[in-house]
Structure 1
């Protein structure tokens, strides 16, 4: 998963039989590997609490390697349970923040591991993983039958569920930006892998909202009650989201294979949104009575047609960028626009050819309107610190320095 955004197994132990199909892109996925709580916390934290931390983290690793997409809700529940224990290690008063070394491995490159002795890094990694798993869930809602990748789902319920998951994933990522990254010292932030760096997380956060807006536009296109103004607004908002996300990611240096694929995905979606925005803006402009309105409308339709062609090339580039994926058959707004944009562009160009000939000075592509972005992330509130961290209830056996050193030697 991650760059392999639609693999059938979360842990990726078995390679998928088919090239994964992507509707909602998951930029990356990182999983925990062996880390020891016993040695650094022995004598400082009750053994029962150490055992719970160890068991909870091991459960995350175990489920990650065994579950498929249907098991993601259970994995998310285990991650939430682990967080309530983990947050105690970040408590400044307890002073345990830098005692444990936390190890994680990227699924995109199994050899890429990182080890950081900072519980805020562990917190960042866990919440980021929750965001990626939620994006994977959202993708699966629109591709329910992984054995038939030609099937697409456009039911209102599926789209609404995907939007809910996208705003939840955005909430996790926003929490990473607002509450966790700011706690990490600069030297650790400099060493973070690409997918955990601020600009990449911000791009993923904005992308989730952009794809949520894309789903809303898909519903509007299918609705008889949605006006042209609503469709134009959603297309323009979608364009703004993907423009911002692309800008965030393009500022990153040394983008790796998965980073390049993420950037190519954002470019593809940006171009699709731009084509849709010009199409709907053209339809509204064409309702005017002045010749300049019709000329502007034709300019919009021709621009939409040209951008649509570019978006198809960008889609192919995304799919062929390693790791290779497949895009779904055109659905939602694009299923409609792939047909309508060329038709309208050709018809309106012929209809107003005489105006274009007479008023060449008016052939200027109009600026698209700007709208306040309406889709917001679902605010994430992390679970409270587990009650076991209440130091007043701790009963730790007295241990001399000599005994502690002896235990360390035995552990070695």
Structure 2
């Protein structure tokens, strides 16, 4: 077991700068790590039967080739027009990774001595126009498993981003179909399952000294932040669908908004433990802050609307405070969004649609009306009063239960 020097200090991967423009971003994909070719026959020699080494090599080589082809798509996603069809091959790459895992796990089964027999090499794909590769070479098969799960999750993020970019059309009201939104929820929960498996079942297999030297992309806190991002964005979609449904009560919308707050709070808490002040890592932090502020705005808004239905002075006073907090949060989210898009690589928001389009318009209007009607209450209590802890209303959302597959029968 060992870790050979990389071409770049991988502990700095989160703070490195990245040039270019990544276009519209509905789901932030914080970089892409792709495998690089290695000579498995040289590493394994006569240890394994030739046919097994050949199968392992063929599966990995297929992934290397496919990942190189798909990297530009992930780095620079494009929004399709309303008439465009045809699919991405990202699901095909994810399936190739699924096929690879059972064979790969033979290297680590039952305390195998083969665990450190191969130096697995992965690179960080930075930009399709100005390619900068940060290479990490580690002789541990669990590192390969961890990298595979991370790539599977990032492919899910990229797929969800494509689904959630509103299609261009002749009308001025961009929309994302309900089918696309439901598919995106399923994909987010799959990504969360991959990341949860990586944290719970793969990271603990790595020796402490190796875990310390992992690229920041694979650090436990960053993986947990990505996990909570996946859950937060899936709840965001569910809130939008609830807002479209005449059957959804205000209490349901508040519960979903509060669940979003919880997810993005945990995501922000996990990633801010790392020094990622600029570059790709800094951009990821700003994306999480932006979405956290949006979630708080939605939760305070629905809490305020519910409180305003009360018939007491206290309920109206708390409603004023909650709506004022929603207005403050929506202003903070706009600033975080601007900072996120301005940080290289430059990005932009897709045309507004769904719940946040509604809330960006509704919150300032309702807050202003409520303050005008209850001016005395606002002046007296805008600083002293705040809504109760929003997390009290949240109900936990869980990732898919993803488990590592059984070792391929060829190892028997």
TM-score range, shorter chain: 0.7 to 0.9
Structure 1 stretch displaced more, 292-301 or 131-140: 292-301
2:25 matches 1:26: no
Q: Contact 2:56/2:100 (CA < 8 Å) preserved in 1?
A: yes
Q: Which residue of structure 2 lines up, in the alignment, with residue 41 of structure 1?
A: 44
In 2, Cα distance between equivalents of 1:301 and 1:181: 43
In 2, Cα distance between equivalents of 1:181 and 1:23: 29
Q: Contact 2:300/2:325 (CA < 8 Å) preserved in 1?
A: yes
User: CA 1:145–1:227 in structure 2 vs 1: closer, same or farther (change >3 Å)?
Assistant: closer
User: CA 1:356–1:379 in structure 2 vs 1: closer, same or farther (change >3 Å)?
Assistant: closer
* Partner residue of 1:217 out of 219, 239, 246: 239
Q: Please state whether the residue corresponding to 1:268 is helix, strand or coil.
A: helix
Moved over 6 A (4+): none
2:122 matches 1:104: yes
User: CA 1:271–1:74 in structure 2 vs 1: closer, same or farther (change >3 Å)?
Assistant: same
Q: Contact 2:157/2:188 (CA < 8 Å) preserved in 1?
A: yes
In 2, Cα distance between equivalents of 1:328 and 1:93: 49
2:257 matches 1:235: yes
Q: Which residue of structure 2 lines up, in the alignment, with residue 403 of structure 1?
A: none
Which string of whole-angstrom CA distances, capped at 9 and with x for unpartnered residues, describes residues 233-272 of structure 1?
A: 1111101110111000001135662111110001000100
Q: Please state whether the residue corresponding to 1:97 is helix, strand or coil.
A: helix
Q: Which residue of structure 1 lines up, in the alignment, with residue 77 of structure 2?
A: none
List alignment gaps of at least 5 residues for structure 1. 1-14, 391-412
Following superposition, the deviation at residue 155 of structure 1 comes to 2.2
Q: Which residue of structure 2 lines up, in the alignment, with residue 368 of structure 1?
A: 389
Q: Please state whether the residue corresponding to 1:251 is helix, strand or coil.
A: coil
User: CA 1:132–1:356 in structure 2 vs 1: closer, same or farther (change >3 Å)?
Assistant: closer
Which string of whole-angstrom CA distances, capped at 9 and with x for unpartnered residues, describes residues 287-323 of structure 1?
A: 1111121121112112211221111111011111121
Which string of whole-angstrom CA distances, capped at 9 and with x for unpartnered residues, describes residues 74-105 of structure 1?
A: 11111111111100011245411111100000
* Partner residue of 1:60 out of 59, 63, 67: 63
In 2, Cα distance between equivalents of 1:51 and 1:389: 13
Q: Which residue of structure 2 lines up, in the alignment, with residue 337 of structure 1?
A: 359
2:212 matches 1:190: yes
Q: Which residue of structure 2 lines up, in the alignment, with residue 51 of structure 1?
A: 54
Q: Contact 1:296/1:362 (CA < 8 Å) preserved in 2?
A: no
Q: Please state whether the residue corresponding to 1:112 is helix, strand or coil.
A: strand
Q: Please, what TM-score do these two structures have when normalized by structure 2?
A: 0.85
Q: Contact 1:268/1:315 (CA < 8 Å) preserved in 2?
A: yes
Q: Which residue of structure 2 lines up, in the alignment, with residue 73 of structure 1?
A: 91
In 2, Cα distance between equivalents of 1:151 and 1:191: 48
* Partner residue of 1:82 out of 100, 108, 122: 100
The 5 A counterparts of 1:13-412 are 19-67=22-70, 68=73, 70-108=88-126, 110-143=132-165, 145=167, 152-253=174-275, 257-356=279-378, 364-369=385-390, 370-390=392-412
List alignment gaps of at least 5 residues for structure 2. 1-18, 74-86
Give the superposed CA RMSD: 2.2
Following superposition, the deviation at residue 354 of structure 1 comes to 4.4
User: CA 1:147–1:124 in structure 2 vs 1: closer, same or farther (change >3 Å)?
Assistant: farther
Following superposition, the deviation at residue 371 of structure 1 comes to 3.0
Following superposition, the deviation at residue 327 of structure 1 comes to 1.6
Q: Please state whether the residue corresponding to 1:225 is helix, strand or coil.
A: coil
User: CA 1:155–1:368 in structure 2 vs 1: closer, same or farther (change >3 Å)?
Assistant: farther
Q: Please state whether the residue corresponding to 1:325 is helix, strand or coil.
A: strand
User: CA 1:161–1:299 in structure 2 vs 1: closer, same or farther (change >3 Å)?
Assistant: same
Q: Contact 1:103/1:115 (CA < 8 Å) preserved in 2?
A: yes
Q: Please state whether the residue corresponding to 1:105 is helix, strand or coil.
A: strand
Q: Contact 2:320/2:377 (CA < 8 Å) preserved in 1?
A: no
Following superposition, the deviation at residue 189 of structure 1 comes to 0.8
Q: Contact 1:171/1:379 (CA < 8 Å) preserved in 2?
A: yes
In 2, Cα distance between equivalents of 1:200 and 1:94: 29
| Residue-pair matches, total | 373
Following superposition, the deviation at residue 335 of structure 1 comes to 0.8
User: CA 1:89–1:307 in structure 2 vs 1: closer, same or farther (change >3 Å)?
Assistant: same
In 1, Cα distance between equivalents of 2:136 and 2:376: 65
User: CA 1:151–1:259 in structure 2 vs 1: closer, same or farther (change >3 Å)?
Assistant: farther
Q: Contact 2:294/2:329 (CA < 8 Å) preserved in 1?
A: yes
Q: Please state whether the residue corresponding to 2:122 is helix, strand or coil.
A: strand
Which structure has the bigger radius of gyration? 1
User: CA 1:233–1:171 in structure 2 vs 1: closer, same or farther (change >3 Å)?
Assistant: same
